[in-house]
Chains A and B, each alone.
Chain A
Amino acid sequence: MTAITDVAAYLAEFDDIPGTRVFTAKRARAGYHLNQFAMSLMKPENRERFKADERAYLDEWPMSEAQKQGLLDRDYNRLLDLGGNVYFLAKVFSTDGLSFVQAVSTMTGMSVEDYQAMMVAGGRSAKGARSIRDKN
């Protein structure tokens, strides 16, 4: 079979998927310090320092002001736009004591209860959520 060699065409397809931020190289570069900051919260002593003074701890990292504000606001969709990856951001919401279900629901515009009810009923259908262009 033929391997994909056109990087631009490969990446362009991802922008056609509704409600999804694929963790591309561009996002990985923009979010490098954001994600490494999040990784630092794996250590209990760093979690304590962050909780004691979030702003001061964030100021130790060479992040953009928008990234720092996104973190202070726990605005996860904004953080995805600014290069955050959910497995790294998970260190932030774990520090807050939130589960994946609780944190992920905040990105969907649904209440936790509605989101959980949707999952129990079989999850979000792929129908209509595959492609912006093809509306399928």
Chain B
Amino acid sequence: MARITAGIGCSHIPVLGFAHDHKKTQEPIFKPAFDGFDWTRQWMKEDAKPDVVILVYNDHASFFDMKVIPTFAIGCGERFGICDEGFGPRPVPEVEGSPDLAWHIAQSLVLDEFDMTIVNEMDVDHGLTVPLTMMYGEVDKWPVKVIPLAVNVVTYPPPSGNRCWALGEAIARAVASFPEDLNVQVWGTGGMSHQLQGPRAGLINAEWDNRFLDGLTGDSDTLRTIQHVEYLRETGSEGIEMVMWLIMRGALGKSTRAIHRHYHVPVSNTALGHIVLEPVG
């Protein structure tokens, strides 16, 4: 049977992709951000070795525009191209899908009353490729298959944190009922505190972010009750992306333990957060 072995939370700050692609990861401005992923890259390669990642992210007006706004979209295609975000696509490998598992999850979720949008063809932007870069570094081919799960966190209202957590729980049920023996991880990406618009731009709230990281571990589920307005007030308008981490947390079951954690301010306009969680029990 397929099984969820770990969850990863990770910011998907575009400038980290830029720094990697232009060989700037050792420059003083970027080094502290990248150093916190050394542990994870080694762990992924030597211990974790997932077959498939369900990668929860949001599109930033790259593939999806204002014509169609799916709340939850699952990528069921064979492969996903890399978006041109306005200055040419990132020079990273295309992303290989896992259509059998993705379609299984999509069917299971709809029957479980999560009305997913199914996407067969799409390109993916930095929201998905930056976390892959942080976890795998420079590769000719991504050593993992990816099921993209795009969440609308741009046009209000995004899904509630509670709904995201419940979706994670439903994803766990779907994975557990897939007959093939697969090692599956769920990643929640985006955040942490940042605001990219208006006179309040530049807001960072390290104290709140770290409480959020604390809340992902153990058997507490209080994070699922945080309302949108709290993310906005405390963590900036783009801090709302953290609801996507709750899909990952929900998929890990009742209790978790953190095996790695990293936090760094600032990367460009944003607070960088990263955590690796294992389900307990």
Q: Which residues in A have some Cβ–Cβ distance to B below 8 Å?
A: 1, 3-4, 10-11, 13-14, 17-25, 28, 32, 35-36, 38-39, 41-42, 76-77, 80, 85-88, 90-91, 94-95, 99-101, 104-105, 107-109, 115, 118-120, 122-126, 129-131
| Contact between A19 and B268, CB atoms less than 8 A apart | no
**Can you spell out 11 A-B residue pairs with CB atoms less than 8 angstroms apart?**
A17-B233, A18-B199, A25-B156, A36-B66, A38-B61, A88-B66, A100-B14, A100-B196, A101-B269, A104-B196, A130-B233
Asked if B202 and A77 make an inter-chain contact with CB atoms under 8 angstroms apart, the answer reads: no
Instruction: Select one of B65, B228, B232 contacting A36, CB under 8 A.
Output: B65
Q: Which of B181-201 contact A (CB under 8 A)?
A: 193, 195-201
A124 touches B86 (CB 8 A): no
Could you say which interface size class chain B belongs to? Answer: 35 or more
Interface hits, B228-281 → A, CB 8 Å: 228-229, 232-237, 265-266, 268-269, 271
Contact residue among B87, B203, B268 (Cβ-Cβ distance under 8 Å from A101): B268
Give chain B residues whose Cβ lies under 8 Å from the Cβ of A19.
Answer: 198-201
Asked if B157 is an interface residue, CB under 8 A from chain A, the answer is yes
* Contact indicator A87/B61 (Cβ below 8 Å): yes
Interface string of B141-153 (1 = CB under 8 A from A): 0000000000000
| B65 and A39 within 8 A (CB) | yes
A94-B86 contact in complex given A23-B155, A23-B156, A107-B199, C-beta closer than 8 Å: yes
Contact across chains for A28 and B155 when beta carbons are under 8 A apart: yes
Chain A residue with Cβ nearest B239 = A126
Q: Are B268 and A13 in contact, with the CB atoms below 8 A?
A: no
Dominant SS at the B interface? loop
**Contact across chains for A22 and B156 when beta carbons are under 8 A apart:** yes
Bitwise, B82-103 to A at CB < 8 A (1) or not (0) is 0011110000000000000000
Q: Which residue of B lies closest to A13 (CB)?
A: B229
Q: B43 near A: Cβ within 8 Å?
A: no
The residues of B with any CB-CB pair to A shorter than 8 Å are 14-15, 60-62, 65-67, 84-87, 154-157, 160, 162, 193, 195-206, 208, 224-225, 227-229, 232-237, 265-266, 268-269, 271
> How many inter-chain residue pairs (CB < 8 Å) link A and B?
154
Which residues of chain B are near A21, meaning CB under 8 Å? Answer: 197-198, 237
Which of B66, B84, B196, B203 is close to A124, meaning CB atoms less than 8 Å apart? B203
Complex-state Cα separation, A126 to B232, whole angstroms:
10
With a cutoff of 8 Å between Cβ atoms, the chain B residues found around residue A13 in the complex are 229
Report chain B residues within 8 Å CB of A123: 193, 202-204, 265-266, 271
CA distance A86 to B208 in the complex (A): 24
Closest to B204 in A: A123
Chain A residues, Cβ within 8 Å of B201: 19, 104-105, 107-108, 115, 124
Contacts of B62 in A (CB 8 A): 42
Q: A10-B157, A19-B199 are in contact. Are A41 and B86 (CB under 8 A)?
A: yes
**Does B86 lie within 8 Å of A129, measured CB to CB?**
no
For A23, the chain B residues whose CB sits under 8 A away are 154-156
User: A91 — which chain B residues lie within 8 A by C-beta?
Assistant: 61, 86
CB neighbours of A87 from chain B (8 A): 60-61, 154
Which A residues are in CB contact (< 8 Å) with B86?
41-42, 90-91, 94-95
